[in-house]
Chain A
Amino acid sequence: MNNIHLITRRSFIRNLGLASGGLIIACTVPSNSSKDKQKLRAFNGSTFEPNLFIQLKDNGALILVASRSEMGNGVRTSLTSVIADEMEADWTMVTVKQAPGDAKYMDQNTDGSRSVRTLFEPMRKMGATAKAMLIAAAAKKWDVDASTLTAKNHYIINPVTKDKLFYGDLVADAATMPVPENPPLKDPKDFNFIGSDLKSVDGKGFASGKPKYGMDIKLEGMKYVAIARCPVTFGTFTSYNKEEAIRVRGVEQVIEIPKINRPFGALGGVAVVATNTWAAIQGRDALKVEWDNGANESYSTDEYTKMIVDNVHKKGKEVQNIGNVNRAFTNADQVVESTFVMPHLVHAPMEVPNATADVRSDGTCEVWAPTQDPQTARTEVATFLGVDLAKVTINVTFLGGGFGRKSKPDFIIEAVAASKAINAPAQVVWTREDDIRHSYYHAVSAQYMKGALDKDGNVTGWLHRVAYPSITSTFAPDTGYAAGFEFGMGMTNQPYLLENILCENAKAPAHVRIGWYRSVINIIQGFSINVFVDELAVKAKKDPLEFRLNLLGPDRIVESPDGYNFDSAKLKHVLTTAAKNAGYGKPLPEGHAIGLAMHYSFLSYVASAVEVSVNNGKLKVHKITSVIDCGTAVNTSTIEAQMQGAAIFGMSLTMYGKITTKDGVIEQSNYHDYQVVRMNETPEIDVEIIKSTAKPTGVGEPGVPPIAPAIINGIFHATGKRYHSLPLKDHGLV
């Protein structure tokens, strides 16, 4: 434990925007593999570049700098509570400050459901270190052995004399104490906050409209900007007429935004600058722009989907080959085949992309934006402006939802380009139409599965062939094939114990920007596998629950180089628990049935049992029962909320989600033709969190993948009809 730093440099403190004075502790977190050993190093100098900070002030106020973005994931509360817990802090003394984008915080990208997972241990150690130093300071004051003292609720206590010392009164002395080598961590059974349903630190603000999101930033002299972008991805304008735009009251000028050919660069376009948002949008809509649509003009998703369906029926590129599937199919008693088709999706977070930038004459640039990844934004802004990173400040506002969309800084570069062009602070606002039509889309996909059953209904062969445009096409030359990390989201790491497996990838080049979307490829591969196993169960004339449990085989551990091993018993346990909680196997109302699905993603185990019925051809989802094993549950209220949210997000994509293109143009535009689930369609959602003392794992995303297949399986068991493509709106079911 030698990499915890006491930071005393005032300039450093000022940089953080914290009041100086008080005890600050920082520590490093390994940026990549969790296999890297956690190291905490003692420090009194000036070169350390930390990513986490505690500040304890002499009035007792405890401030945590949150390095990850708050987008509904509750991370400002959960991360804070871990430190406060180890520190035996009084929760009412805690406030949270948001860190700007800076490499000294190590990786700040809030994606992959990994904020708590990667920061849990370091946070505990920071809290424990602070506590140990406060105890040491009290021990010195009282001239007693530190080991006789305890800490509780912001006080160090001498159990013998019953003396108490307030944390705030110990700040000056604690700062002079040596940093302990190995401060003891609490026994999990003594946790105060971890594992509880602690309220959000921002709850009061949320209920009164106070938190500042990107568009809520107002700067002196700031102009509002709306941009006309080419309707076809990567097209450019050839000419434009601004006459009518300029005539809109409030419009000041029309400028050009360059197209930036970088991985997450801007699309470019013609921008209207105005004194208010409304005028900017009106002016933008009044522009007459001629476009050169470019190569993607040929992209129509109807034809494209047919092409990738064709492709998955032909031999593809092998990505996993175990045993001998061909022999298995030859010797099979029954062969089952299915083809799955799913469309592009768009995140459509309630807050549209937006950013405010101030490029100043002294060469500095300050940005305020709802970004999941402030460091990438900082790099891209500095590259665009041709200035040192140090000149660029990225302030992270609250995010009105992200779901992956806001990890790309394209909208930030636009604001910077606009501010630079007009020599004034600029706020770029996207309309909902802009958001739906110029996003980084979840991949359209086709999948082919083929299974062999022997005469006893055992699965003897398993072929899975996938085609979807790869996320890598967004930041590297597109080969038309997907990448290993994408296959590893549910295909090559499928949970069943199978002897003969063949996984292949068929060609699917990208024609729109492809991006991360809550749960990513797990949605695609989790869907096919969970529906296909249900089909196999039916063909084998077995109960779908029993069939799955048998196919999982004897309990086993699959080791993983990152130290997070897959434990099949945990997956079994969430499945049986979900089935039990849902009343699976018990009599149900006439016409109702329960569909099951389970998926391992972001290192967490989730199963869902969904009770549905179909009346007069219309689907009704009556109840969703989900169970998650995410290791140590840091905040049960947040986890329950994320699982409820994931269930509703999963329902939306099952019932409505579909982005299509015709001649390269996205056909949807707003919530009327890109519908999402509303209150009146929301079923009862029951969530159980498995008690565990294992390391915490992902929460934000793993709840999504099982929902769609569980609904499809439920519909089959209620009606005998099997659907292989989404959304259900296309089948007239909603």
Chain B
Amino acid sequence: MATLTINGKKHTIEADSSMPLLWAIRDIVGLTGTKFGCGKGLCGACSVLLDGVSVRSCLTPVSAAEGKIIVTIEGVENENKVLQEVWDELNVAQCGYCQSGQIISATALLASNANPSSEDIDTAMSGNICRCGTYPRIKSAILKTAELNQNSK
């Protein structure tokens, strides 16, 4: 038995405490926006926010997530809705599969650095692979969101 707080909702689940959070979220809680890409912390497709930090849920055991605030792509609209809108507006996604993880990492970046440089973005986003090659638009979307957030302040 484990209790997880995901997107503001508590879920009590039957799962081995060593089960990676990724599979608990996908197969037991049933939120499928978080994706499996490598299972080894190499691609970032499984990224979720754990107390605001972008972590690889494929390597995070359920036990390490208990008592923490988990945000998945389904809950990003409460964190940074503008980012999602800009993502859509700039047509960032190609196949879309890596994009949940990309948006989670970008959300974490913008929460800790409201005005990231191109190099800051490289550093924060290089753990997220996009095999379709959407990197140029991901960078544009992050820069544009930062700009919009600055202007609205």
Contact = CB atoms under 8 A, between A and B. Distances in A.
B26 interface: yes
B139 A350 contact: no
B38 A432 contact: yes
A277 B123 CA distance: 31
Interface in B1-52: 15-16, 19-20, 23, 26-28, 30, 32-40, 42-43, 45
Given A208-B33, A350-B131, A400 B19 contact: no
A403 B92 CA distance: 19
B74 A208 contact: yes
Q: Which of B40, B127, B129, B132 neighbours the largest number of chain A CB atoms within 10 Å of its CB?
A: B132
Given A208-B74, A680-B123, A72 B16 contact: no
- The dominant DSSP class at the B interface is loop
Interface residues of B, number: 60
Contacts of A431: 39
B131 A401 contact: yes
Contacts of B42: 670-672
A349 interface: yes
Contact of A401 (B89, B91, B132): B132
- The dominant DSSP class at the A interface is loop
A648 B139 CA distance: 14
Contact of B33 (A209, A249, A349): A209
Interface residues of A, number: 65
A680 B127 CA distance: 10
A679 B84 contact: no
B55 interface: no
Interface string A331-364: 0000000000000000011111000000000000
A204 interface: yes
Interface in A490-526: none
Contact of A679 (B85, B92, B138): B138
Given A72-B94, A649-B133, A215 B32 contact: yes
Contacts of B98: 350, 400
18 contacts: A72-B93, A199-B89, A200-B93, A204-B84, A206-B96, A207-B99, A208-B76, A218-B32, A349-B131, A350-B35, A351-B95, A399-B95, A641-B137, A642-B94, A644-B135, A648-B135, A679-B128, A682-B139
Interface of B: 15-16, 19-20, 23, 26-28, 30, 32-40, 42-43, 45, 72-74, 76-77, 84-85, 87-89, 91-100, 103, 121-123, 125-139
Given A202-B96, A642-B94, 20 more contacts: A205-B96, A206-B87, A209-B73, A209-B99, A209-B100, A215-B36, A218-B30, A249-B16, A276-B23, A277-B23, A277-B27, A278-B19, A350-B37, A350-B130, A351-B97, A352-B37, A401-B95, A671-B38, A677-B133, A678-B126
